[in-house]
Amino acid sequence: MTTTKAFTSERTQAVFEAACAFAELEAAGAKRVRFGENAIYRLVDGSAVVRVGRSIPAATKEVLVAGWLAEHAFPAATSLSGREQPFVEDGLPVTFWNCLEEDNTPITPAEFGKLLHDLHALPHPTDFRLPAFSPMPKVEPRLQALKGKLPEADLDFLRDRYEELSEKFQDLEFPLPAGPVHGDAHLGNVMRTPDGTLNLIDFEDFAYGPREWDAAVLSVRHQAFGWASEAEYDSYTAAYGFDPIDWPGFPVLRATRELNMTMWLSQTIDESAEVKAEVEKRIADLRDDQAPRHWKVF
């Protein structure tokens, strides 16, 4: 019987070290800065960021998207030249990136809205094809991985929710023209450099599809979680040029994003009791559309 190896801290650390040896980079002392869909490491000398991913096609696409953005002088992360991209070790893809120095000045919703507006104004890639957008491409495999880790009643609920939202999403009528979308456009995927420039990062979910998907991220965070004030949200929609909350299809996008957020966190349910408790809380909240969403940020 074939089994799928888990994406664990120990496995990704070993892959990271092998990739650094291949690329002649110094792995010792590196800091792991994120662990979720990817394991991301920053080298101790600040020369590079190394991403250990789960999907070879997604990693390959990331490098292509980085080249397309650079071609149009769009401020974004750039891949490290002179290395094979992606490098594959133990079935996991590794990509290498130039390190961005970060200024911790908070990114305003208005700045974020302008960045998204400019991204969506770019001409389409001509030397590669983006995949068609799918709103929940990772929910089914994540549900499979949760067997035995959550009660069957919760898994049945999540599967029913997934099927219900998939049907509703297919019936949506989108007012904005389709085009290249980031797919996971939130403030955590934007970095400000010391000169004030905002740089887009994390390209694995790039696709061709409805721009409302990107535009609605801050809308969900404002309406569902209160993570942006009314004034901040108004400045965001003014900068972007469209308010997703006013669109009748927004409740479906919100519910879909909430399910994605829950399933994203579920990947690391074995990492700590805190994560497991948060996943259980989110599932309970999803059973009630009116329940307040006091969710932790991971």
CATH of the domain at 124: 3.90.1200.10
Domain boundary among 48, 68, 98: 98
Residues 193 and 274 in one domain: yes
CA angle 221, 64, 196 (to 5 degrees): 50
Task: Tell me the per-residue pLDDT of 155-196, one tens digit each, with 9 for 90 and over.
Answer: 999 999 999 999 999 999 999 999 999 999 999 999 999 999
Residues 206 and 246 in one domain: yes
Who contacts 119 (Cβ-Cβ below 8 Å, separation ≥6)? 74, 180, 182, 185, 200, 214
- How would residue 1 be classed by pLDDT, with cut points 50, 70 and 90? very low
pTM, two decimal places: 0.88
Task: Tell me the per-residue pLDDT of 231-248, one tens digit each, with 9 for 90 and over.
Answer: 999 999 999 999 999 999
SS3 state at 146: coil
Question: Is 265 inside any structural domain?
Answer: yes
Question: Is 295 inside any structural domain?
Answer: no
Who contacts 143 (Cβ-Cβ below 8 Å, separation ≥6)? 155, 158, 159, 162, 263
Residues 162 and 263 in one domain: yes
Residues 65 and 123 in one domain: no
Who contacts 219 (Cβ-Cβ below 8 Å, separation ≥6)? 233, 243, 244, 245, 250, 253, 254
By DSSP bridging, strand 39-42 and strand 198-200 are: unpaired
Residues 265 and 126 in one domain: yes
Task: Tell me the per-residue pLDDT of 13-68, one tens digit each, with 9 for 90 and over.
Answer: 999 999 999 999 999 999 999 998 899 999 999 999 999 999 999 999 999 999 99
Residues 159 and 46 in one domain: no
Question: Is 248 inside any structural domain?
Answer: yes
Residues 176 and 32 in one domain: no
Provide the domain limits for residue 230: 119-286
Of 46, 47, 51, nearest in space to 16 by CA? 51
Question: Is 296 inside any structural domain?
Answer: no
Domain count, the chain: 2
Residues 155 and 244 in one domain: yes
End-to-end CA distance of the chain: 35
Domain boundary among 98, 130, 159: 98
